[in-house]
Chain A
């Protein structure tokens, strides 16, 4: 519990990457990673939503669920909070930042059902992080997820020009690449670890 927020921040980007070590958020990771630009768009949206919702969910948990001993309802409550927050952000963007709305707009609804977001909120509770640690884990988790999808998108764009056996095209190939990337990222765990 005494882990410094900085350690959590960097560890959640590299060695404890939600995507590459917990394999969360795979569906949008596999489907959007076909080109770099959309991956970056989705990644930016994930960073933003993950950072804010992990803090929000932390507060809801600590100040509503814990005092009333309703911890077991955290799944449903977290999901509602995430969905409502994404909706709200969509409306605010549409009104005040139409340009950003059009670039991120299509990705925001995808995020509501991104399990990495829920996963991060749950890990925060399970590992009993405090406020700053939650903030660091939320932001780091989002950046780590983005890093992983960008890496995969970059590799997929290059590999598009090569011949892959039919049975391995698409998701099959992405899974293998993800596995190898996960090994590489875990290789750093000697430097930093939080689990």
Chain B
């Protein structure tokens, strides 16, 4: 009996041990790439541990490639030119790269793994993107699912950005989340105010970053972020401006309005803000104040499905319908859009019909 038990146990364990040893050996030899060298712009060199993604390896060395999806391969912002090393183009990258880019060896850095020495080229200005450790000064409820976050930089530090640009928040490991992640949030405060920034954040149910901010982050806590990123910012011109936003898309427009106010920019501007019902609206008073402070500014909030109890006197309808009613000839205008991809695509169609040229429609898809 005892012999039988021992024999059974040892045979089954033997099989387990054999397979485990096989896997360990395989990992040792198959997935070990040693240290690899990354050469940037023929100038700087980094030593990194092989086997990780290029984006993350650069990040660890303080080089912040823009990324809005946090490396999931769904935003297409993390493009870099890979001159050598980096392996074949992957099927996860092709949807985001044009033919010219592919021929030019442009790659998505969150998909490329560093398995050998690689040489890359990135724009010089990326070196000026820095990481900042901020302190949460104040958290304010704007609606039932949206909060404003005031983040103060360390004494003596400043964050210089263009109105409309965004920062990336680093979400530390918490609860069930075992990996650091980065998420993009537009700066909502004035670009003239460089020692404290404001973000407007809307809860995404079960979202990694928004759950952290809503349920874990407290006033006085530290929060790391890097930036500024993005080419959605106020252009210099005197054309009439159309701004359209939905939900938390108000954030970058808010910053643009501060800039117009604080720099006394004389431009005609209309801001269409689309929400579902009254409880989604916020900053109505602030926008009314802008209407007084900026000579030619008009604020048009619109609800797509107001409840009866809302007693809503304003515009009703999808934001595209409202914009369609307000604009007749858009040929001399410039447009700034912010919101969900669906909303932005629909708005672009309307604006094009109104005669606003495509290269004067600027947007950030959230």
Contact between B91 and A103, CB atoms less than 8 A apart: yes
Chain A residues touching B, range: 20 to 34
Contact between B11 and A70, CB atoms less than 8 A apart: yes
- Count residues of B near A (Cβ-Cβ below 8 Å): 21
Give Cα distance in the complex from A84 to B22, angstroms: 9
Q: Give the nearest-CB partner of B16 in chain A.
A: A80
Q: Give the nearest-CB partner of A60 in chain B.
A: B15
Q: Decide yes or no whether B92 CB sits under 8 A from chain A.
A: yes
Contact of A70 among B8, B16, B92 (CB under 8 A): B8
Given contacts A77-B15, A84-B22, A102-B90, whether A95 and B8 have CB atoms under 8 Å apart is no
Contacts of B22 in A (CB 8 A): 84, 88
Question: At the interface, is chain B mostly helix, strand, loop or mixed?
Answer: helix
Contacts of A92 in B (CB 8 A): 26, 30
Q: Decide yes or no whether B267 CB sits under 8 A from chain A.
A: no
Contact between A80 and B15, CB atoms less than 8 A apart: yes
Contact between A91 and B15, CB atoms less than 8 A apart: no
Q: Decide yes or no whether B31 CB sits under 8 A from chain A.
A: yes
Contacts of A80 in B (CB 8 A): 15-16, 19
Contact between B90 and A91, CB atoms less than 8 A apart: no
Contacts of A95 in B (CB 8 A): 30-31
Hey, what's the 0/1 contact readout for B5-20 against A, CB within 8 Å counting as 1? 0011001100110011
Q: Decide yes or no whether B113 CB sits under 8 A from chain A.
A: yes
Contacts of A162 in B (CB 8 A): none
Contacts of B11 in A (CB 8 A): 64, 68, 70
Contact between B12 and A76, CB atoms less than 8 A apart: yes
Given contacts A70-B8, A76-B12, A84-B19, whether A94 and B91 have CB atoms under 8 Å apart is no
Contact between A91 and B87, CB atoms less than 8 A apart: no
What is the distance, in angstroms, from B64's C-beta to the closest C-beta of chain A? 25
Q: Which residues of chain B in 1-56 are interfacial with respect to chain A, using CB atoms and an 8 Å cutoff? A: 7-8, 11-12, 15-16, 19-20, 22-23, 26-27, 30-31
Contacts of A102 in B (CB 8 A): 90-92, 111
Give Cα distance in the complex from A68 to B92, angstroms: 48
Q: Decide yes or no whether B313 CB sits under 8 A from chain A.
A: no
Q: Decide yes or no whether B88 CB sits under 8 A from chain A.
A: yes
Q: Decide yes or no whether A195 CB sits under 8 A from chain B.
A: no
Contacts of A60 in B (CB 8 A): 15
Give Cα distance in the complex from A94 to B90, angstroms: 12
Hey, what's the 0/1 contact readout for B90-106 against A, CB within 8 Å counting as 1? 11100000000000000
Give Cα distance in the complex from A103 to B23, angstroms: 22
Contact between A64 and B30, CB atoms less than 8 A apart: no
Contact of B23 among A76, A88, A98 (CB under 8 A): A88
Q: Give the nearest-CB partner of B112 in chain A.
A: A98
User: Could you name 5 residue pairs across A and B whose Cβ atoms are closer than 8 Å?
Assistant: A68-B11, A88-B22, A91-B31, A92-B26, A92-B30
Given A80-B16, A95-B31: 14 more A-B contacts, CB < 8 Å: A60-B15, A64-B15, A68-B7, A70-B12, A73-B8, A77-B15, A81-B19, A84-B20, A84-B22, A91-B27, A91-B31, A92-B26, A95-B30, A99-B88
Which 3 A/B pairs are nearest by Cβ-Cβ distance? A84-B19, A95-B30, A91-B30
